[in-house]
A and B are shown apart, each in its own frame.
Chain A
Amino acid sequence: DAGITQSPRHKVTETGTPVTLRCHQTENHRYMYWYRQDPGHGLRLIHYSYGVKDTDKGEVSDGYSVSRSKTEDFLLTLESATSSQTSVYFCAISDTRGVDTGELFFGEGSRLTVL
């Protein structure tokens, strides 16, 4: 498996609290992604990064922000968590050629429950 670790793996929080999920890679891949997985919706892209300090929005970015200050770390922040953000969050990385020419390698996922 590619060297990707997500933390925390499980988190329960209350509505209105801030939450940060961390993705750490040891592969030196340029592209990093955050997806959320919900039943019936597959995997939906939240944000992605194509380099240090270079990020862009995906299809479901409202309520989320990201930061990438180092090649190896990509942080996803929920400024004020809502129950609709209860989900399983997957980080993914791909090689320097970009997603349309390479495989996505996923982390193990982070299960977030917002009460």
Chain B
Amino acid sequence: GAVVSQHPSWVICKSGTSVKIECRSLDFQATTMFWYRQFPKQSLMLMATSNEGSKATYEQGVEKDKFLINHASLTLSTLTVTSAHPEDSSFYICSAYQGLTDTQYFGPGTRLTVL
């Protein structure tokens, strides 16, 4: 089946630093990937839609200059949290859309803790 990986699975960083999270579709190509954020005991909130070769589309209220998204290839999208602060601590989950099956496949998530 289609597999999506994320790296790292967890990261701890100091306030003010930047953190990059990778999302890879391992056995299929994904022209569209999605980034979600999930706070404890809450649902997944879509942050942005990442399109290969073009700019990401951000949801209302998500700062594009703070959450930089790059979808450089059909199997890789990256999310960079710039100048991270404690309130950015969350579980970040990506998904990759496979057109052949019209299905989104989710990654295992990345736990970000900002001290």
Q: Do A and B come from one complex?
A: no
Q: Which residue numbers of B lie inside 8 Å of A, CB to CB?
A: none
Q: Which residue numbers of A lie inside 8 Å of B, CB to CB?
A: none
